[in-house]
């Protein structure tokens, strides 16, 4: 669709120890490390990208592992849960795997007619593994321990907790083209029909809850997907017209971005499909080489000395 928000592009979170983070997401969850680079504003810190084999939009989870950073606190004005889609019949496998690896989890439950399993990563970041009502036909990345019958397929939803949903809902519906599909108590499910997967945003209204603290184990920002730069700038005009502050276009090497803070307090990004993750290394080598933004290439030796080993 022309000039559409195509669901979620990526989600970026904050971690502590980089090696622990890498082990958890590649070994325990079975995601592929698709890009090993550094924070644009802090080149002594990794920026690690995990996803499917090619780093397809809608599968990409990224981290800033800031070493000894303190723990965050879930609350309002935050993205509080990341939902992954998994194949039908796989939740028993995941419960057994999480238990075997001493991961904190809750037994399967159900909401909006979908079964899901909740767990926490080593930094306390909250996840849900959901069997979608509508069959998810994406091809997962598989490992020797996790086959295609069980492997994570990509994002299912992101959950945002807010004191009052009205203004955030207006962004989703009036600007992004989402529609309110279902409500259960204080959880409101918004869906876009522009894509089949990674298409859901849940808003949880918690009127009396205090604001969370973004630090270790917290979502830093949520990125929504657009096709290209022309579409990116189309939405920039819409956001400016709504009276919100938004950045100029920023080149993030693998996509072009805009950033703005939605009225409920969560940092939103719009990110393009182009140029993609194979712009600086071939598909079969994704995640194997340290890739640096051009402005830091002259400092490579020092950066490589400072960054910790991931293995």
For each of the chain's 311 residues, which pLDDT tens digit applies?
579 999 999 999 999 999 999 999 999 999 999 999 999 999 999 999 999 999 999 999 999 999 989 999 999 999 999 999 999 999 999 999 999 999 999 999 999 999 999 999 999 999 999 999 999 999 999 999 999 999 999 999 999 999 999 999 999 999 999 999 999 999 999 999 999 999 999 999 999 999 999 999 999 999 999 999 999 999 999 999 999 999 999 999 999 999 999 999 999 999 999 999 999 999 999 999 999 999 999 999 999 999 999 98
Residue 269 near residue 221 (C-beta atoms within 8 A): yes
- What sign does the dihedral 118-121-122-124 (CA atoms) show? negative
Query: How close are the terminal C-alpha atoms of the chain, in Å?
Result: 42
Q: What is the DSSP letter of 151?
A: S
pTM for the whole structure? 0.97
Distance CA 109, CA 117 (A): 6
């Amino acid at each position: 669709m022309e000039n559409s928000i195509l669901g979620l592009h990526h989600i970026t979170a904050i971690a502590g120890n980089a090696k622990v983070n890498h082990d958890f997401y590649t070994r325990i969850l079975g995601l592929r490390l698709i890009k090993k680079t550094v924070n644009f504003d802090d080149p002594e810190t990794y920026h690690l990208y995990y996803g499917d084999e090619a780093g397809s939009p809608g599968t990409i989870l990224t981290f800033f592992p800031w070493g000894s950073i303190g723990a965050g606190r879930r609350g309002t004005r935050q993205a509080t849960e990341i939902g992954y889609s998994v194949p039908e019949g796989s939740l028993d496998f995941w419960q057994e795997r999480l238990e075997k690896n001493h991961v904190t989890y809750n037994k399967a439950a159900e909401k909006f007619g979908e079964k899901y399993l909740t767990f926490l990563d080593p930094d306390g970041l909250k996840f849900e593994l959901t069997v979608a009502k509508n069959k998810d036909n994406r091809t997962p990345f598989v490992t020797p321990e996790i086959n295609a019958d069980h492997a994570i397929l990509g994002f299912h939803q992101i959950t945002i907790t807010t004191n009052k949903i009205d203004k955030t809902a207006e962004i989703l519906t009036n600007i992004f083209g989402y529609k309110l599909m279902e409500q259960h108590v204080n959880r409101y499910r918004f869906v876009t029909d522009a894509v089949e997967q990674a298409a859901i945003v849940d808003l949880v209204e918690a009127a009396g809850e205090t604001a969370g603290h973004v630090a270790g184990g917290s979502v830093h920002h949520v990125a929504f997907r657009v096709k290209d730069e022309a579409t990116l700038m189309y939405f920039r005009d819409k956001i400016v017209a709504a009276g919100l502050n938004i950045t100029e276009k920023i080149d993030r090497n693998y996509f072009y971005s805009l950033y703005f803070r939605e009225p409920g307090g969560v940092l939103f990004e719009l990110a393009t499909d182009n140029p993609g993750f194979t712009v600086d290394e071939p598909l079969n080598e994704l995640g194997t080489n340290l890739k640096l933004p051009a402005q830091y290439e002259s400092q490579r030796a020092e950066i490589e000395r400072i960054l910790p080993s991931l293995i």
